[in-house]
Amino acid sequence: ELLLKGARSEDLRQAEEGLKQARVNLDLAKSEYQRVQNLYENDNVSKKQRDDAEARYQVALAQYNSAQAVYKKIQNLARPEEIRTAEARLKQAEVAVDLGRKAISDCYLMAPISGVVTNKLVERGELVAPGYPLVMISRLDKVYLMIYITEVELGKVRLGQDAMVKMDAEPKKSFKGKVVYISPIAEFTPKNIQTKEERVKLVFGVKIEVDNSERVLKPGLPADASLRVQSLTSR
Q: Does any domain span residue 89?
A: no
Same domain as 154, residue 73: no
Q: What is the pLDDT of residues 104-116, one digit of tens each?
A: 777 777 788 778 8
Report the domain count for the chain: 2
Q: Report d(CA 65, CA 61) in Å as an integer.
A: 6
**Closest listed residue to residue 78, CA positions, set 8, 150, 156:** 8
Q: How do residues 17-69 score in pLDDT, each as one tens digit?
A: 888 888 888 899 899 888 888 888 888 888 888 888 889 899 989 998 998 88
On whether residue 165 sits in a domain, the answer given is yes
Is 31 in a helix, a strand, or coil?
helix
Domain final residue, candidates 47, 62, 77: 77
* Residue 31 maps to a domain: yes
Average pLDDT, the chain: 80
Q: What is the pLDDT of residues 212-235, one digit of tens each?
A: 888 888 888 888 888 876 444 544
Among 77, 106, 126, give the residue marking a domain's end.
Answer: 77
Give the model's pLDDT for residue 232: 47
Residue 126 lies in a domain: no
- Specify the CATH number for the domain of residue 23: 1.10.287.470
Candidate from 1-5, 19-23, 47-51, 205-209 with smallest mean pLDDT: 1-5
Q: Can you tell me the mean pLDDT for 152-181?
A: 88
3-class SS at 165? strand
Task: Find the domain containing 230 and state its range.
Answer: 142-234
pTM score of the predicted model: 0.45
Return the pLDDT at 161. Answer: 92
User: Given 77, 110, 125, which residue is the final one in a domain?
Assistant: 77
Residue 90 lies in a domain: no
Look up the CATH number of the domain holding residue 157. 2.40.30.170
Residue 91 belongs to some domain of the structure: no
Give the 3-state secondary structure percentages of the chain, helix then strand then coil, rounded to 5.
45, 25, 30
Same structural domain, 73 and 146: no
CA distances from 45 to 32, 35, 60, 76, 202 (A): 13, 10, 22, 46, 130
Alpha helices in 76-159 (DSSP H): 80-105, 151-154
Beta-carbon count within 10 A of 123 CB: 6
From CA 180, how far away is CA 89, in angstroms rounded?
Answer: 59
The arithmetic mean of pLDDT across residues 183-198, rounded, is 67
For residue 108, being part of any structural domain is answered with no
Q: Where are the beta strands (DSSP E) in the chain?
A: 116-120, 135-138, 142-149, 162-167, 170-182, 187-188, 202-211, 223-226, 231-234
Residue 50 included in any domain: yes
